[in-house]
Amino acid sequence: MNGARIFLGVSGGIAAYKAAALTSTLVQRGAVVDVVMTAEAERFITPLTFSSLTARPVYGSLWDAPERIPHIRLIREAQVALVAPATANLIAKLAAGIADDLLTTALLAARIPCILAAAMNDAMYADPVTQSNIEALRTRGYEFVDPERGFLAERERGVGRLAAEERLVEALERALARKQRWRGKRVAITGGPTREPFDPVRFLSNASTGATAIALAAEAARRGAAVSLLLGPTLLEAPAGVDVVRVTTAQQLYDAALSHAAGADVIIATAAVADWRPAHVSASKLHKTGEGIDVQLAPNPDVLAALGERKGSSFLVGFAAETDDHEVRAREKLRRKHLDAIAVNDVRNERGFGTGENSLVLLWGDDGRRELGTARKDELAARLLDAIEELTACS
């Protein structure tokens, strides 16, 4: 951890005293730790304990030195943030976007990996509102170190104890190692559907929402990469800290890809590009006549194949949405489009579209294969980037 900059948030639970031992361990391992405490945490343990351990100022209030805007500075200078303990109240505030003290304000402004080590009474932890707040934060990219079962302050046993120090240190080390590997890397991601108009108010499109691309872009940005997201029409929000290029048609995506994606270190094509577009686009709205109409379709350019032809040293990853013979078809696309790897998903009955769970298998080379499993798209994004990390390190 030599020289690693760690932002350590401490919120007001009895486990706050354990954050002092953790701080000492991190400092002994060479980390530079900035501690931010909530007012409630200061009732359990004093700032003096942390400032003595870190030999740095400890921050509590937004108003200590407002001219320095400490919430933005502290979180910008850090490589990773950990909150230990993270109380039910802190988790609820983050889930709702409430920023009413220095810690929540800083975390809301964070563009770095944020790890929350939940610790609270077991009934509070099990309560559906806490669980749904945790779920919401996970989807937004927060990592959780789950509490452990054991003796609680209420003199009962249950799940709610702050995770053991080694687990917290491991989570920090993992986040720092990932940042090391992705720092300075340029990542380009295509995502979402395309729309192919046949008059000013009608178009052909598909069920893609761009959720996979958004999850991948957010995860790559958290790992420290410079990310360009080339995104088709979707109602989903693009992640913060990412350069977003909005496109509508396949042709626009093609043009954007050649200017923004070509030459990136890693290119991931998740876009569900329409393979055809209406050959003739009416300049004015088509009115019904009681008769059917024939729409002639012309082929669209293949964005990924074009990137494959200009691949250079980029690591090029495609997606294959298949309804049958999944892996055989995907391997054929891998070869035909000059890809380094392809992630296969099963889209029978529109599975794989939207923000829910997905299942992916990654294929590469002649017979490389890894099941990334079935999980939420943010979790699958992390697993896919882990796999890319390994494949690029050995190529």
Has 206 been annotated as catalytic? yes
Candidate list 318, 341, 363, 385; residue touching ligand CTP; CB under 6 A: 318
Residues between 181 and 210 with contacts to ligand CTP, criterion CB under 6 A = 190
Among 321, 334, 361, 385, binds ligand CTP (CB under 6 A): 321
Stretch that binds ligand CTP, among 56-64, 212-220, 258-266, 319-327 (CB under 6 A): 319-327
Cβ distance to ligand CTP smaller for residue 40 or 275: 275
Q: Which of 2, 206, 349, 358 is flagged as catalytic?
A: 206
Beta strand ranges found along the chain (DSSP E): 5-10, 32-37, 80-86, 114-118, 143-145, 148-151, 157-161, 186-191, 196-199, 202-204, 226-231, 243-246, 266-269, 276-278, 297-299, 315-322, 341-346, 357-364, 368-376
* Residue 104 makes contact with ligand CTP by CB under 6 A: no
Burial classification of residue 208, based on how many CB atoms lie within 10 Å of its CB (0-12 exposed, 13-18 middle, 19 or more buried): buried
CA distance 193 to 385: 22
Residue 300 found at the interface with ligand CTP (CB under 6 A): yes
Structure tokens at 42: 């200061």
Return the residue matching tokens 């919120």. Answer: 11
Give the Cα separation of 47 and 64 in Å (integer): 13
Q: Tell how strand 226-231 and strand 80-86 pair up.
A: unpaired
Give the shortest CB-181-to-ligand CTP separation in angstroms: 23
Smallest CA-to-CA distance from 247 within 257, 239, 261 is with 257
State the number of binding residues for ligand CTP (CB under 6 A). Answer: 16
Our finding on whether 345 is near ligand CTP (CB under 6 A) is no
| Binding span for ligand CTP by CB under 6 A among 238-246, 264-272, 360-368, 386-394 | 264-272
**Range in contact with ligand CTP (rule: CB under 6 A) among 128-136, 167-175, 312-320, 359-367:** 312-320
Kindly list the residues in this chain that would bind ligand CTP in the complex (CB under 6 A).
190, 250, 269-271, 273, 275, 300, 302-304, 318-321, 333
Catalytically annotated residues: 206
